[in-house]
């Protein structure tokens, strides 16, 4: 992918946040395949008929990537009327398209797709055969049982594993003897799938055999058996699960799955198990135990977790702080001293967590603490502190912001400027009006955008003048600021920006015009679309956005009539 395509994708992703449905649909016809593919993916989130209809047309796209994203999105939407068109893609020349089409048919859950899936079962691609078998299992296609059974002997192990799962879904009774035979397979993850299915199908009756295997087979098989205990709510297995949790010789992944299974089977009893496990020497396991304890309600938990707030391991300290906060967030007097203590931790991520906890509590005046973290040598800590500024008085916030405006880090200064715009008081305005004339073009640009939040004539005049700045980024942010003012005097200056030599400034002007919500701009936008729809990249984006603005203004005007 070249740099131009990357820029387009980035713009589309940003555009999708503020754009309406029709704008994304139009991008399905963009000449760049990556833009079309991104649009196809985004439409999957709409989950409605109109999006599905647009995506059906994209199934004929010349780009493999577009067809893949379109069929994925249709599967996500679950549009049953697309079944026939998707079925045709099972014969696509690209294996990846055929595989994703098979997967989509399983998600849509239409029985009419079963014959087409069966016809594709002998596909040359293991990826396609795997997807077909999975979908037949999802559809519980009883007519395909004998077909799927044959793939227990497939040359590809992924196909064989999914065949075990599919047979279980299609006919639990008929598949039991087949699955039982697969427990001795030489491939570990096929044995794992077989034991998981065996445990779920037989339930308590499978327990003796599963326990025999639990401690002798490979970890992958043990994990699968533990999950079968949870899936079948096999309370009789709890003692054995606890033994694995407390066994420091077992691999971390096995023990963590055992913890999850114990919680699923018996939540109350699992609290006692987790407390026992806190004596473990393994810091990974201790961290997981603290995390799960923090999610439970038990009067013992806060005091137990407090013992680990000063642990030598940073991950344990951070998890303990998170867990304690959720346990005690309604008891400010108890949790606040702990948060303050953790603000002095030498590990930056822990300090950031403490700052976030402080922010979550809200309405707290701790100027000295915030001042300390806002001036911290670690930039991540400083950025995290910005969100807490709103809990201070305006005077104290202004004091801190003025310090940050002198910072050597440009990003800190930019954030300080944005904060001044949010404050919106006279003092902030005076500072911003000076920064709008700064030698640094980034500072000027951010100050002008922030000034747009001030609805007064002086701010308007400053922004208006900046539309002629020699730097295109400054002109673009000035246009954005003008739109923020809501002052309709800005319509004519913004329309003139549509002739700016920089196409990005033109795009910013169109977005600003949208914010002013005035139908008088429609003829001008129509003309812009006609002359720029096939222009430079940002001109094309601006033209598409302009069409969107026209549609919105027309609709709003009809509502107001």
Give the three-state DSSP class for 13: helix
Give yes or no for residue 233 having a pLDDT over 80: yes
**Portion of the chain with pLDDT greater than 70, in percent:** 94
Grade residue 333 by pLDDT with cuts at 50, 70 and 90: confident
**CA–CA separation, 44 vs 47, rounded Å?**
6
pLDDT of residue 350: 93
pLDDT of residue 411: 87
Contact 430, 438 (CB under 8 A): no
**CA–CA separation, 241 vs 226, rounded Å?**
7
**CA–CA separation, 412 vs 380, rounded Å?**
10
Please compute the mean of the pLDDT values over residues 43-63 and round it to a whole number.
90
Structural domains in the chain, CATH included, are 329-392 (1.25.10)
Please compute the mean of the pLDDT values over residues 154-165 and round it to a whole number.
94
Grade residue 277 by pLDDT with cuts at 50, 70 and 90: very high
pLDDT of residue 18: 43
pLDDT of residue 9: 56
Please compute the mean of the pLDDT values over residues 85-109 and round it to a whole number.
95
Please compute the mean of the pLDDT values over residues 471-493 and round it to a whole number.
93
Alpha helices in 343-471, H assignment, sequence order: 348-361, 367-374, 379-385, 394-404, 410-423, 426-435, 441-451, 457-466
Q: Is 517 left (phi over 0), alpha (psi -120 to 50) or beta?
A: left
pLDDT of residue 25: 85
Provide the mean pLDDT of the chain: 89
User: For 189, phi and psi rounded to 5 degrees?
Assistant: -75, -15
User: Which is more confidently placed, 8 or 245?
Assistant: 245
pLDDT of residue 16: 46
Please compute the mean of the pLDDT values over residues 290-313 and round it to a whole number.
94
The structure's pTM equals 0.69
Contact 414, 442 (CB under 8 A): yes
């Amino acid at each position: 992918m070249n740099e131009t395509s990357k820029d387009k994708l980035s713009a589309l992703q940003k555009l999708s946040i503020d754009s309406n449905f029709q704008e994304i649909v139009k991008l399905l016809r963009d000449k760049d395949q990556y833009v079309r593919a991104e649009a196809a993916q985004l439409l999957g989130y709409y989950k409605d008929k109109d999006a599905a209809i647009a995506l059906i047309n994209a199934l004929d796209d010349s780009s493999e990537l577009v067809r893949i994203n379109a069929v994925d999105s249709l599967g996500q939407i679950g549009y049953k009327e697309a079944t026939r068109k998707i079925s045709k893609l099972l014969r696509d020349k690209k294996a990846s398209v055929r595989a994703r089409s098979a997967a989509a048919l399983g998600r849509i859950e239409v029985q009419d797709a079963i014959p087409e899936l069966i016809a594709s079962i002998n596909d040359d691609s293991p990826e396609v055969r795997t997807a077909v078998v999975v979908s037949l299992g999802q559809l519980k296609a009883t007519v395909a049982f004998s077909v799927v059974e044959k793939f227990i002997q497939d040359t590809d192990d992924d196909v064989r594993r999914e065949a075990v799962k599919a047979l279980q879904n299609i006919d639990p009774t008929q598949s039991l003897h087949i699955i039982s035979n697969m427990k001795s397979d030489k491939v570990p993850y096929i044995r794992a799938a077989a034991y998981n299915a065996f445990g779920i199908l037989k339930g308590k009756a499978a327990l003796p055999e599963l326990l025999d295997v639990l401690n002798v087979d490979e970890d992958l098989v043990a994990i699968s058996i533990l999950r079968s205990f949870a899936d079948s709510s096999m309370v009789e297995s709890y003692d054995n699960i606890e033994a694995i949790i407390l066994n420091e010789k077992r691999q971390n992944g096995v023990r963590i799955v055992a913890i999850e299974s114990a919680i699923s089977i018996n939540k109350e009893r699992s609290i006692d198990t987790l407390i026992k496990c806190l004596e473990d020497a393994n810091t990974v396991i201790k961290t997981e135990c603290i995390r799960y304890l923090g999610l439970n309600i038990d009067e013992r938990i806060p005091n137990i977790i407090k013992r680990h707030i000063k642990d030598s391991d940073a991950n344990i300290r951070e998890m303990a702080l998170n867990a304690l906060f959720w346990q005690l967030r309604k008891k400010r007097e108890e949790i606040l001293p702990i948060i303050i203590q953790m603000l002095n931790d030498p590990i930056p991520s822990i300090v950031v967590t403490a700052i976030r906890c402080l922010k979550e509590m809200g309405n707290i005046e701790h100027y000295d603490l915030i001042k300390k973290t806002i001036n911290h040598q670690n930039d991540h800590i400083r950025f995290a502190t910005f969100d807490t500024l709103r809990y201070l008085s305006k005077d104290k916030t202004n004091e801190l912001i003025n310090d940050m405006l002198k910072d050597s880090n440009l990003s800190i200064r930019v954030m300080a400027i944005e904060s001044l715009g949010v404050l919106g008081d006279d003092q902030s305005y005076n500072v911003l009006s000076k920064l709008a004339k700064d030698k640094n073009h980034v500072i000027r640009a951010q100050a002008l955008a922030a000034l747009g939040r001030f609805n007064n004539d002086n701010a308007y005049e400053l922004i208006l003048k900046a539309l002629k700045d020699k730097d295109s980024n400054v002109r673009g942010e000035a246009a954005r600021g003008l739109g923020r003012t809501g002052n309709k005097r800005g319509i004519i200056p913004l329309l003139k920006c549509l002739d700016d030599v920089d196409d990005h400034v033109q795009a910013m002007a169109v977005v600003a015009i949208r914010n002013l919500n005035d139908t008088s701009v429609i003829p001008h936008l129509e003309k812009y679309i006609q002359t720029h729809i096939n222009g430079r990249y940002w001109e094309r984006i601006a033209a598409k956005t302009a069409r969107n603005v026209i549609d919105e203004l027309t609709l709003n005007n009809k509502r107001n009539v």
